[in-house]
Amino acid sequence: MRKYFYTDGVNKFGPFSKDELKSQKITRNTKVWYFGLEEWTELNKIIELNDLFVAIPPELKPLNTPIKSKIELPENKHSDKPIQVQLKTKKSKLSKWVIGIAILIVISFVIIRLVQKQSEANLYKEIVANSYESDEKFDIYVEKFYRDLEVYGIFPKKPKTTIIKFSRLDQLDNTTHIHGLSLGHNDDSRIEIYINPSSWKQFTRPMRYFLLYHELSHDVLNLDDLNNKPINEGKMMYPEISSYEKKNMDDFIESFHSLFEEQAKK
Ligand SMILES: [Zn+2]
């Protein structure tokens, strides 16, 4: 038995027997093909299917592009859209969250840093406000520091203002500068150092030199502390000078020599 195919202009349907073709959604203009036919031909032009199309009511008006409305493709497009939109919405919601959290973290860090700086500033204000002059001749240490630097060919500009005072630094329990503190660090217009009087009282002579040279190195040479690893023990910028109880003046001299030698090379 001959099998027929028909097309809606996009998709092919079939094969159908003549009887089966009757129940398909076809019109008089539907193009049909069967094996042996040269090309897709309108139903009403195929004589053997005449009785088929006679049973189909005529078109209300001629259709150039019949049954196109039945094409499934546009429908698919419609059903695709909401999924894409949903995905996009989900994505943008997610990235909004990520951005929001990131901003929150940055803001928290800024606030924490500001609070830290503020409390640090308050602490320094307190230290300065409670500082006092002493009979201790700190000038001698400063003069010697500059002379020693000159030996190594280092000539930092001597600032006009030199403040070295006692002040209780015990409230600096979170830092290693409970014994001495340089506030002129990175400020070449002044030397500003505060010494904890109780540390000064306890410290041996070499330790006092270590402490003053350590703070002057912060202040005048803008040097930072070394970390407190054992390898740095004995060095001038070692942060725990309170552990230098057994050091003598030779140790001190050796320590500042190696520091200044290192600085001279820079
Ligand atoms: Zn230090």
Tell me the per-residue pLDDT of 218-257, one tens digit each, with 9 for 90 and over.
Answer: 999 999 999 999 999 999 999 999 999 999 999 999 999 9
Q: Counting beta carbons within 10 angstroms of the beta carbon of residue 191, is it exposed (0 to 12), middle (13 to 18) or buried (19 or more)? A: buried
Is beta strand 31-34 parallel, antiparallel or unpaired with respect to 41-42?
antiparallel
For residues 221 and 185, give the distance between their C-alpha atoms in angstroms, rounded to a whole number.
8
Q: Where are the domains of the chain?
A: 4-69, 71-129, 138-265
CA of residue 85 to ligand 1 center, whole Å: 60
Q: Is the pTM of this model over 0.85?
A: no
Token look-up 């409230």 returns 171
100 C-alpha to ligand 1 centroid (Å): 39
Cα 52 to averaged position of ligand 1 atoms, centre (Å): 104
Q: How far apart are CA 72 and CA 163, in angstroms?
A: 88
User: What residues contact 210, with CB distance under 8 A and at least 6 apart?
Assistant: 236, 241, 244, 247, 252, 255
CA 171 to centroid of ligand 1, rounded, Å: 16
Mean pLDDT confidence for 111-122: 87
Quick one: pLDDT at residue 51? 80
Q: What is the 3-state secondary structure (H, E, C) of 76-128?
A: HHHHHHHHHHHHHHHHHHHHHHHHHHHHHHHHHHHHHHHHHHHHHHHHHHHHH
55 Cα–ligand 1 center, Å:
105
Measure the CA–CA gap between 131 and 120, rounded to whole angstroms. 16
| Dmax (CA) of the chain | 129
Dist. CA 214 → ligand 1 center (Å): 6
Query: What is the mean predicted confidence (pLDDT) over 20-35?
Result: 86
In terms of pLDDT, which residue wins out, 239 or 82? 239
C-alpha 130 to ligand 1 mean position (Å): 21
Task: Decide if 195 contacts 240 (C-beta within 8 A).
Answer: no
pLDDT at 49: 81
**Which of 84-98, 120-134, 175-189, 198-212 comes out lowest in average pLDDT?**
84-98
- The per-residue pLDDT for range 28-79, each reduced to its tens digit, is 888 988 888 888 888 888 888 888 767 777 767 655 555 555 445 554 555 5
For 174-223, write each residue's pLDDT tens digit: 566 889 999 888 788 899 999 999 999 999 999 999 999 999 999 999 99
CA distance 145 to 217: 9
Look over the chain and give the mean of its residue pLDDT values, rounded to a whole number.
86
